[in-house]
Amino acid sequence: MNANVDKPCARWLLLELFFPKRIGRLSCWIRSGAVLVLQLGLIGASGSYGSELITLTLLLLTVCVYVLFWVVLPRMRDLSIHPLWLFLFLVPIVDMPFSLVLLFRPRPISSFAAQPPPLPKQGQLQLG
């Protein structure tokens, strides 16, 4: 019997580990480094021809999709950058400076502090 059957939270945490909604700088560095090592390994192993080359190409494309949607996009959400800027990663020259910005830029200060509740308008009584 599976130990996590009664614990949907454990399953959610595992999914959130690999497919996050937001990631910080350190997590972005770690994920980018791990993916780079994986990509270089796949490229280095692609010396063969035939069906193995097709399989390695599909694996490399899968890794690239993972990087775009579960490393770059969550980091952009963390920095409050609009998701349409993700198309910059499809431009070969522009993607490197943009990735450096994502790796080094700190989170905006406004995201750390809780927003104060709005003040009531003049002459209105606030119940609650």
pLDDT in tens, 11-65: 777 788 788 888 989 999 999 999 999 988 888 876 766 777 888 888 989 999 9
The pLDDT-based confidence of 124 (bands split at 50, 70, 90) is low
Contacts for 86 with CB less than 8 Å, ≥ 6 apart:
68, 72, 73, 76
Determine the Cα–Cα distance for residues 18 and 44; give it in Å rounded to an integer.
Answer: 25
Per domain, the residue ranges of the chain are 19-105
> Which residue's structure tokens are 């830029």?
105
**Closest C-alpha among 8, 41, 39, 22 to residue 112:** 22
Indicate the pTM of the whole model: 0.70
The amino acid at residue 86 is L
Neighbours of 119 (CB within 10 A): 8
The pLDDT-based confidence of 115 (bands split at 50, 70, 90) is low
Determine the Cα–Cα distance for residues 110 and 103; give it in Å rounded to an integer.
Answer: 19
Question: CA 14: distance to chain centroid?
Answer: 15
Helices (H), 1-128: 8-18, 25-44, 51-67, 73-78, 95-104
Determine the Cα–Cα distance for residues 81 and 57; give it in Å rounded to an integer.
Answer: 31
